[in-house]
Amino acid sequence: MERIGEYKVLVAHGAGAGSSYVLALLRAAQLTLAGRAPRTFQLRVATLRHAGMSQNALDTLHRGYSALFMHDDARVELLMVENQEVLPFNHLRPASSAARDTSRRNMLMVGHLTSGDLRQTLCNDAYLALGDFYQRVTTCNGGVHALVSGDSARKQREYLAWLKKAALASGAEIPPRQPQVLSGLFARMDEWSNAYYCDLYGERYAVADKSDTDNHRHLAYIGAADLKDAAEYSSGPLLRQFMGYEPDEFGFHFSHASYANPLLMAHLRGLQAECLRELDYEEGAQGFMQQAALFMRRKQIPEHLIAQAATQDGRALAADYAQALFRLDESQLNCLMFSPFIRHGERLESFLRQCHPGMLVALPELHKALQGKPVAEMLVQWAIDTSGLPIDLLQHLYRKRPATGVPGMAETPQQGAPALAAYQLAGR
């Protein structure tokens, strides 16, 4: 106890209600100990800022920190990781243009190579960033001694099983022995992520330097899933009110991949119905909303947004969100859903016939452009504008034959989880 003032505990905060409960419990423990002893433990709170994190989510984080009097407490360190850089938390900091561009490109590449699989398109970029995120936030500024998580063991097993499957699909070697420490697990997660992106981009992908994330300290793990569940059951509404928590209608729920962002997913299903199935937008969006409505009510998404999701007003709202955070317009999202460039452009004619009939006459020239042959600059620019990707990546997609798809994270426990599943991760 005499050295507890040197002990630093990390909690990852994703702006959701669950991680808010865990943070409130940790802060209560820290302040209770401070009232009974000369010193108390230090607290590091870290957030992974992904491209889909809205200003509403950042404001929710800020209100929670303010309610817990964390901003001016020297015993508390508030961090944010964006574009593989650890930064002091600032809810007013504009999003990094480089980070937005990288996430947008990743989203488009994954979307095209999975033929518009919604879970992989929207979730993979954030899932694959976790290894790098944990390496950085556990080692920067002297590192931490313990990791606290409110995630259930089931969710952690599902994530690790998914990541292993993604690595296997990319051709990565899976070592027979599991890491013996958490820092080793985070390094392996990052290796598997790099293997995935190397397979996705080929020689165009450069692995980031990680020489500053070496960590030989043993990290303790503190599971708080049971405490989080108890707090939600007994004091959830009171805690949410105290911390100024407001549900973000376009917030991401990465631990529920099938409904990771239900309003945006409904929009994409509507576009998919229009451009691929020759149905009405409303029919496609409504079909998804019928599946997601119960989940959305559990997440306290306002009823009027649920009701209007399959209408033209809901379409406009979702389109504005996609443009603001991902810089993608409906034409580019339609192109992603159709995925016309893969397998030597086998769907290119169908895509033009359905979505751009005026370009059918240029089909042979578009094939030449995708093969790297000289064509009119106007055609190259049309392909870039329509897809949102540079011509060299379109040519890469044209040559690439996608491997067996990697499904999004399951919603139910998986059978035969790998040995790595025994390890526990901090909250996502």
State whether the Cα torsion 75-78-84-85 is positive or negative. Answer: negative
Q: What is the DSSP letter of 421?
A: G
103 and 121 in contact (C-beta within 8 Å)? no
Distance CA 172, CA 192 (A): 7
221 membership: H or E segment, kind and range: strand 220-223
Size of the chain in residues: 428
Residue 184: beta bridge partners?
none
Identity (one letter) of the amino acid at 127? Y
Q: Each residue of 14-37: b (16+ CB within 10 Å) or e?
A: bbbbbbbbbbbbbbeebeeeeeee
pLDDT at position 412: 37
Q: What are phi and psi of 178, to 5 degrees?
A: -85, 155
Which pLDDT score is estimated for 212?
A: 67
* Separation between Cα atoms, residue 351 and residue 278, nearest integer Å: 12
Cα separation, 183 vs 195, in Å, equals: 19
Q: Which residue reads 């009823």 in tokens? A: 303
Residues of the chain with pLDDT under 50: 404, 410-428
- The encoded tokens of residue 403 equal 């491997």
Q: Strand locations in 84-174, DSSP E?
A: 85-88, 146-149
pLDDT digits over 88-143, tens only?
A: 999 999 999 999 999 999 999 999 999 999 999 999 999 999 999 999 999 999 99
Q: What is the pLDDT of residue 84?
A: 93
DSSP H helices, 309-403, are 312-326, 330-338, 342-345, 348-355, 363-370, 377-387, 391-399
What does the pLDDT read at residue 415? 33
- CA distances to 7, 21, 63, 75, 76 from 27, rounded to whole Å, are 14, 10, 15, 10, 9
Q: Report the predicted TM-score, pTM, of the whole model to 2 decimal places.
A: 0.89
Q: Please give the Cα distance from 33 to 335 (Å, whole number).
A: 56
76-82 and 85-88 beta bridge pairing: antiparallel
The predicted structure's pLDDT at residue 148: 95
CB-CB contact of 186 with 160 (8 Å)? no
Rg (CA), the chain: 23
Q: Are 44 and 80 in contact (CB under 8 A)?
A: no
Question: Helices 118-128 & 262-276, crossing angle to 10 degrees?
Answer: 140
- Nearest in space to 292 (alpha carbons), one of 319, 322, 253, 328: 253
Gap between the Cα atoms of 14 and 53, Å rounded:
9
For residue 108, which of 344, 353, 383 has the smallest C-alpha distance?
Answer: 383
Cβ partners under 8 Å of residue 225, min gap 6: 149, 150, 151, 152, 153
DSSP bridge partners of 8: 42
| CA–CA gap between residue 87 and residue 95 (Å, rounded) | 12
Alpha carbons 295 and 260: distance in angstroms, whole number: 10
Output the pLDDT for position 158. 87
